[in-house]
Amino acid sequence: MNGNTFRMPARRLVTIAAATALAAGPAVLAGAGPAHATGAEGRASAAVLRTALDVSLLDETVRVPLTASLNEVRAPHSARKTTLTARLDGVDGGKPFSLLRAEVADATATVTPAKAEARTELVQARVHVPGLPLLSVIELDKVTSRAVCETGKAPVASATVPGTVTVLGRKVTLTAGGTTQVRVPGVGEVGLDLSQRRTTSRSAAATALELTVSVDPLKLNVAEARGTVTLATADCKAPAAPVAPESPAGQRPAPAEEPAAGVRPQGEASAEPGLAETGGNSATPYVAGGALALVVAGGGALALARRRRG
């Protein structure tokens, strides 16, 4: 009866000690899990049209700014509006006037963990400025721009423009190099820069057309309109590549050393037939600890039992 009374606590002691030693292994390993590094987020934006104009009125000495945009989006958005109107006090009695009309005017910007991309498309478009309600600054068939920034790859910027456009009522053939100047006496002057592209190690930007406008229509109470009109722009920046985690000391782990000649790494199968294979893995220290706990607990229980009998 007494023997059974002491054997039960002893067995429980052995079981608890073994479980504690074996459970310690997974707990330590769990604390040493891999670290996940995240890079900076990418960005993308696009716009079908932007204006930055200063409009001077005949009966005023100040310039009225005209800053507007159509379908200007930032990731992750898209837009498909095809008209843009504006109002300026002192111009045509403050009535709204059309800046842009087009059959298609699309802008899209998207960003994923590994890629940022922006696109624009403008089809059958006419651009106006204050004072020229009937005469377009420019008429064109189609322009597009695209910027793609992907992690680990070179960014790409591209733009397409038609071979000919109509500027201030005149057909103009566009050239790839330099600025194309169009002058119309009594109306004004427009300079066209086409297919501007720029890339860096992580970013890209493309503009299909940029117009430098200077018109002096002398009607609708407008003396002069100067500034820029930008068509079909897209830009992006690639998400940063993940950075490998560093050691606690601030240094990267040193490369593993090659084993010396004739020394077989622990756990590698023996090349000689008939010999027993030995080795270990990451759980070996914990198994050994559990076994030691069993021995100690068993010895204690045996000593207590002998004293009781004595």
Question: Measured between alpha carbons, how far is residue 160 from residues 7, 103, 157, 163, 183 in Å?
Answer: 89, 17, 11, 10, 24
Which of 103-117, 121-135, 218-232 shows the highest mean pLDDT? Answer: 103-117
For residues 106 and 288, which has the higher predicted lDDT (pLDDT)?
A: 106
What pLDDT score does 33 carry? Answer: 31
Q: Averaged over 48-58, what is the pLDDT? A: 90
What average pLDDT does the segment 215-230 reach?
A: 82
Mean pLDDT for the chain? 75
Percent of the chain with pLDDT over 90: 44
Answer whether 231's CB lies under 8 Å from 125's CB: yes
More confident call, 116 vs 64: 116
Lowest model confidence (mean pLDDT) among 10-24, 45-59, 185-199 = 10-24
- Long-range contacts formed by 11-16: CB under 8 A, 24+ apart: 11/301, 13/297, 13/300, 13/301, 14/293, 14/294, 14/297, 14/298, 14/301
Residue 219 is predicted with a pLDDT of 64
Q: What is the pLDDT of residues 83-118, one digit of tens each?
A: 999 888 777 777 888 899 999 999 999 999 999 999
Better pLDDT: 92 or 38: 92
User: What is this structure's pTM?
Assistant: 0.65
Amino acid identity of residue 112, one-letter, is T
Dump pLDDT digits (tens) for 129-177: 987 878 999 999 999 999 999 999 999 999 999 889 999 999 999 877 6
pLDDT of residue 122 exceeding 70, the answer is yes
119 or 86, greater pLDDT = 119
pLDDT value of residue 308: 54
Strand positions, DSSP E, the chain: 43-57, 63-70, 73-74, 77-79, 83-86, 97-112, 115-127, 138-150, 156-160, 164-167, 170-173, 180-184, 188-199, 203-215, 222-237
**pLDDT at residue 2 greater than cutoff 90:** no
Higher-confidence position of 301 and 144:
144
- Provide the percentage of residues in the chain whose pLDDT is more than 70: 63
275 — pLDDT class (breaks 50, 70, 90): very low
Query: ω into residue 162 within 30 of 0, thus cis?
Result: no
Instruction: Tell me the C-alpha distance between 303 and 298, whole Å.
Output: 9
Highest mean pLDDT among 66-70, 104-108, 195-199, 224-228: 104-108
More confident residue, 310 or 146: 146
